[in-house]
């Protein structure tokens, strides 16, 4: 099975449709699948639901799809740094399902592990728990959270081999691993593709069984917030 594609548009060919659920890796602007996001923008696919920690910034990452009104709903844990996200949400133009970060990561991991749901203490007694089943374990209340089963996962890794084994660089592991796991099809963009067998198995963060298509490309190293001090 050939997993290597020449362009992000080719890698997404036949996978996109209006109204679908997509899981995206990344945290802030670190490890986001920027090339695949731009390909979705070019495709014009709309009414999308994204499961992602956040929505980037106004002019980068998922913020680019907010600009074109292609996203209808976000399943997110952090909604700052993006003025357009805030404007659309407050105007009732964007649905948001707020999910604590650890819960979001576990919902994705559960989806990739065949686990339909799990109980957690996180969110008990808050708006996060509204409408969810409660259960008592060892005298303490827990809420039921359901797995995220995405139709498509898009992730960014540092290096891949031709069979789809992925290595992430430092903080870019963040949500990329669970996001990749929970998609029926996973497309990964990487900085480098190497021959099969050249990666140390102990260094692989995500086995190729989860990855169906891979593209390599040039990526922008953008800083989300630059903080300096006076000398």
| Closest to 47 measured CA to CA, from 24, 25, 27, 74 | 74
Compute the distance between CA of residue 147 and CA of residue 174 in angstroms, rounded to an integer: 18
Strand-pair partners of 150: 183
User: Into which CATH architecture does domain 8-216 fall?
Assistant: 3-Layer(aba) Sandwich (3.40)
Two tokens at 74? 């976000």
- How far apart CA 156 and CA 52 sit, in angstroms, is 13
- pLDDT tier at 42 (50, 70, 90 boundaries)? very high
Provide the whole-model pTM: 0.93
pLDDT computed for residue 60 by the predictor = 92
Q: pLDDT, tens digit, for every residue of 70-82?
A: 999 999 998 777 8
Q: How confident is the model at residue 136 (pLDDT cuts 50, 70, 90)?
A: very high
What number is the average pLDDT over the span 186-194?
Answer: 98
Rounded Cα–Cα distance for residues 85 and 200 (Å): 41
User: Residue 12: exposed, middle, or buried by beta-carbon count in 10 A (0-12, 13-18, 19+)?
Assistant: buried
Q: Which residues contact 109 (CB under 8 A, 6 or more apart)?
A: 177, 178, 181, 182
Task: Please give the average per-residue pLDDT across 38-62, as a whole number.
Answer: 95
Is residue 224's pLDDT more than 80? no
**C-alpha–C-alpha distance, residues 179 and 54, integer Å:** 13
Q: For the residues 166-188, what does the mean pLDDT come to?
A: 96
The pLDDT score that the predictor gives to residue 58 is: 87
* Mean pLDDT taken over the chain: 95
Q: Residue 229: its pLDDT value, please?
A: 85
Q: Domain residue spans in the chain?
A: 8-216
Q: Indicate if the pLDDT at residue 115 is higher than 80.
A: yes
Query: Does position 228 have pLDDT exceeding 90, yes or no?
Result: no
- The answer to whether the beta carbons of residues 54 and 28 sit under 8 Å apart is yes
Sign of CA dihedral 158, 159, 160, 165: negative
Closest CA to 72 of 39, 50, 52: 50
């Amino acid at each position: 099975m050939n997993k290597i594609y020449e362009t992000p548009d080719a890698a997404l060919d036949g996978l996109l449709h209006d109204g679908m659920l997509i899981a995206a890796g990344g945290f802030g602007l670190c490890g986001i699948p920027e090339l695949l996001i731009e390909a979705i923008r070019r495709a014009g696919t709309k009414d999308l639901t994204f499961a992602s920690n956040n929505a980037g910034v106004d002019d980068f990452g998922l913020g680019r799809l907010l600009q074109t009104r292609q996203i209808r709903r976000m399943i997110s844990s952090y909604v700052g740094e993006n003025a357009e996200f805030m404007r659309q949400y407050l105007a009732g133009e964007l649905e948001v399902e707020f999910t604590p970060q650890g819960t979001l990561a576990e919902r994705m991991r559960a989806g990739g592990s065949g686990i339909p749901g799990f109980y957690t203490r996180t969110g008990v007694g808050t708006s996060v728990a509204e409408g969810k089943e409660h259960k008592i374990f060892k005298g303490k209340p827990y809420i039921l959270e359901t797995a995220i089963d995405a139709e498509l996962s898009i992730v960014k890794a540092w290096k891949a081999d031709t069979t789809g084994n992925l290595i992430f660089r430092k903080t870019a592991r963040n949500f990329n691993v669970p996001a990749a796991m929970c998609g029926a099809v996973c497309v990964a963009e990487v900085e480098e593709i190497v021959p099969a067998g050249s990666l140390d198995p102990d260094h692989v963060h995500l086995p190729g069984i989860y990855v169906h298509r891979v593209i390599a490309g040039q990526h922008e190293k953008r800083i989300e917030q630059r903080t300096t001090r006076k000398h």
